[in-house]
Amino acid sequence: MEFTYSKFLAIWQVFALVLSGLAIVTGIVIFILHKLRFSSIRDYKQKYDYLAANDSKMIYYVIISFAVALTLFINTVYNATVQISYVWFFVRMFIAICLGTLIIYISYLMMKFAYPSTLEKKMKKWRYKPRVNKKTGNVMKLLSEEEEDVHLDEGMQAEENVFSVDYDVWVDEESGDVQIEKYPGHLIAHQCNSCGFKTMKLVKEEIILAPTEHTDGEMIKNYQCSYCKAKRTKTVKVAKLSQTESHYELPVHLHFKEEEKVNMVTIELNISNGKTKIYEFTSTKQASEFLKEYKLED
Ligand SMILES: [Zn+2]
């Protein structure tokens, strides 16, 4: 009995160490492949999309690989004690699994709540990095949010609960070339005013005033923090419908994002029942129009 147990332990030792090494190698390979794939992408927009789709996932896989490696490695330590009785073998295994699970759980929480702000910074860098016109080689400029606004697809206009799409419009001032990039609005997480995490996400959109061919519409975006569940609303303008689909007409006076002094206006209303309501606007004009119109509902 004693002999077979120690023989088993010897095999276990080799087995766990080899697997632990393999798990570390797997983690390193995933990390390197991720970095290689990212740097092989030339287009900034595609880099952005790649990060959005893969970055958190890949980093999480790397962490899992290392956690598994550590779990397996712990199963090879304190051999002298484990030799005494098989009970210690299970005690060691239990502690190892608990520790591994804890690491994976904590990193899951970090990837879900803390990492998005880091990722957003990384993604923003590629989203706003000046584009170069492939035809002329000129550096392009990004139109301000006010001008590009929200362009809804034909089919989406009538729907109430649509998730908007953000368009970035890059203009080559010399040649007049336009490059339009589409970003899913719901992917972007904003900073939560209550908990400070960048976990405020778009959950619902309501069109309160439908746009026509001649007038702008208005839409309320409802956000909720995925961490502390705080809510917030924001009113945005929906651009006039363009006659021809997917045709973007440049405004007469170009107004670029870099010229804007005010990025965002936040209005916090402290209501008598102790509640607070926070509204965000992309310009002072929008904010003052909102205040003029504001009536306390309910
Ligand atoms: Zn929050």
Quick: pLDDT tens for 38-60. Answer: 999 999 999 999 999 999 999 99
Ligand 1 centre and the CA of 230: distance in Å?
5
Ligand 1 centre and the CA of 198: distance in Å?
8
Ligand 1 centre and the CA of 226: distance in Å?
7
What residues are paired with 84 via a beta bridge?
Answer: none
Q: How far, rounded to the nearest angstrom, does the alpha carbon of residue 141 sit from its chain's CA centroid? A: 24
Q: What percent of the chain stands above pLDDT 70?
A: 83
Share of the chain residues as helix, strand and coil, in percent rounded to the nearest 5? 45, 20, 30
Ligand 1 centre and the CA of 161: distance in Å?
23
Residue-wise pLDDT for 109-131, tens only, equals 999 888 988 898 899 899 999 99
Q: How many CA atoms lie within 13 A of 3 on its CB side?
A: 0
Per DSSP, which regions of the chain are E strands? 141-142, 165-171, 178-184, 200-209, 217-225, 231-238, 265-270, 276-281
Ligand 1 centre and the CA of 124: distance in Å?
21
C-alpha–C-alpha distance, residues 80 and 13, integer Å: 12
Residue 192's closest CA among 100, 241, 120, 103? 120
Ligand 1 centre and the CA of 237: distance in Å?
25
Ligand 1 centre and the CA of 184: distance in Å?
21
pTM given for the model? 0.71
pLDDT-derived band at 184, boundaries 50, 70, 90: confident
Ligand 1 centre and the CA of 120: distance in Å?
16
